[in-house]
Amino acid sequence: METWDAIRARRNVRRFSDRPITVADLDRILEAGWRSPSSVNKQRWDFILCTERSQLQELSSHSRWAGHVAGAAAAVALILPHSDDPDVNESLDLDLGQVTISMMLAAADLGIGSCHAALEDQEPVRRLLGYPEDRVCALLISLGYPADRPLAPIKRPKRRPIDEIVHRDHW
């Protein structure tokens, strides 16, 4: 897909087909995350790729918002340092947004759907994935081919009118 088409086609997909994602495509999505910009280029992130069905099902059980992970072909757990400093957390959140959309657009470019999943219970996920005590799983990204319609540029996305959002020269 062209970049502009991928931007327009990406949507949050929560129901996935059984079609697996090739290793090469998963690697490309992970590489998109690896290439993402981060504050002072600190790259304070790690990615855990999960593809086992039982692991995906268990991950989905640890959050009300992660039901879609159970049926995904894969999920990427985005791991960040734990911090009690609001300034550090603000910069980590910005980094998280960058890496997330990079991976999602790389997936959309391949026709692969994705969805965010916020976690509620950190400890069972830490036991399952084995990341250290000083890290947290900040977000899961589900990946898979859509069960319904394939990704294609969306003519009218559910968004506030663009003229209401874009201000030119002044508010």
Ligand X SMILES: Cc1cc2nc3c(=O)[nH]c(=O)nc-3n(C[C@H](O)[C@H](O)[C@H](O)COP(=O)(O)O)c2cc1C
CA 50/CA 26 separation, integer angstroms: 10
DSSP assignment of 37-96 equals --GGG----EEEEE--HHHHHHHHTT-TT-GGGGG-SEEEEEEEE----HHHHHHHHHHH
**Comparison of 22 and 147: residue with beta carbon closer to ligand X:** 147
Closest chain position to ligand X (CB): 65
Query: Judged by CB, which is closer to ligand X: 94, or 118?
Result: 118
Position 115 contacts ligand X (CB under 6 A):
yes
Q: Do 118 and 142 touch, CB atoms closer than 8 A?
A: no
What is the spatial distance between Cα 51 and Cα 101, in angstroms, rounded to a whole number?
Answer: 20
Give the nearest distance from C-beta 135 to ligand X in angstroms: 19
Binding-residue pattern over the window 53 to 92 for ligand X, x denoting contact by CB under 6 A = ------------x--x------------------------
User: What would the x/- binding string for ligand X be over residues 20 to 59, using CB under 6 A?
Assistant: ----------------------------------------
